[in-house]
């Protein structure tokens, strides 16, 4: 009973983390659209919090999305790699490998979104490619971050693909079938 309760708590944490990450991506996407199509990124994201700029909200939301989605993905991968009670011979994934896979899979999605956003900016106002990405830091420029995002997409996609293929190979291996009395008698 204790294991079932623990599994349920972990599933709740996984689900809440995913919900928070998904919502944070929506907030970031809205901020990115404002930055791409208007000049209102310095305006408040929500008028009830007048000191919180839309672009600052987007940066915070992107950071929350990274953390939340990595946690959610890690817990999901860990849950899916645990052997069912009736098949305890299965080998679950190592926590470190699952963490790398969770980071890689999250990076694929978020780096792709970042590249799309910055590419859209390059179309709507190309002059910003040479300007710093945010008012929060003096470096990097939008163009530099777009190239970094492409590099992250390459590394994360390759890592994710490798780990998924490697994991699938490990979980699809047939477990050795124990000798039955009929097999032993036939072999003798």
User: pLDDT tens across 33-57, in order?
Assistant: 998 888 778 888 888 888 999 889 9
Whether the predicted pLDDT of 83 surpasses 80: no
Whether the predicted pLDDT of 173 surpasses 50: no
How many other CB atoms are found less than 10 A from the CB of residue 6? 10
Domain layout of the chain by residue ranges: 2-83+91-171
pLDDT at position 87: 47
Whether the predicted pLDDT of 184 surpasses 60: no
Tokens of 150: 């492409």
Whether the predicted pLDDT of 76 surpasses 60: yes
Task: Tell me whether the omega of the peptide bond preceding residue 140 falls within 30 degrees of 0, making it cis.
Answer: yes
Read off the DSSP letter of residue 40: -
pLDDT at position 179: 55
Q: 121-167 pLDDT, tens per residue? A: 889 887 777 777 777 777 888 888 899 999 999 999 999 999 999 87
Tokens of 148: 């970094």
């Amino acid at each position: 009973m204790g294991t079932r309760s623990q599994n349920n708590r972990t599933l709740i944490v996984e689900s809440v983390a995913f919900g928070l990450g998904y919502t944070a991506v929506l907030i970031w996407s809205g901020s990115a659209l404002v930055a791409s199509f208007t000049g209102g990124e310095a305006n408040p994201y929500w008028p009830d919090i007048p000191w919180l700029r839309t672009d600052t909200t987007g940066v915070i939301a992107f950071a929350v999305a990274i953390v939340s989605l990595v946690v959610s993905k890690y817990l999901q991968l860990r849950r899916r790699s645990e052997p069912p009670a009736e098949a305890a011979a299965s080998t679950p994934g190592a926590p470190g490998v699952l963490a790398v896979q969770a980071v890689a899979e999250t990076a694929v999605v978020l780096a792709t979104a970042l590249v799309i956003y910055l590419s859209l900016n390059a179309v709507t106002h190309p002059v910003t490619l040479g300007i710093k990405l945010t008012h929060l830091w003096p470096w990097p420029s939008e163009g530099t971050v777009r190239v970094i995002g492409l590099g992250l997409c390459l590394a994360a996609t390759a890592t994710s693909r490798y780990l998924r293929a490697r994991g699938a190979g490990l979980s699809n291996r047939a477990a050795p079938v124990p000798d039955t009395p009929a097999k032993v008698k036939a072999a003798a």
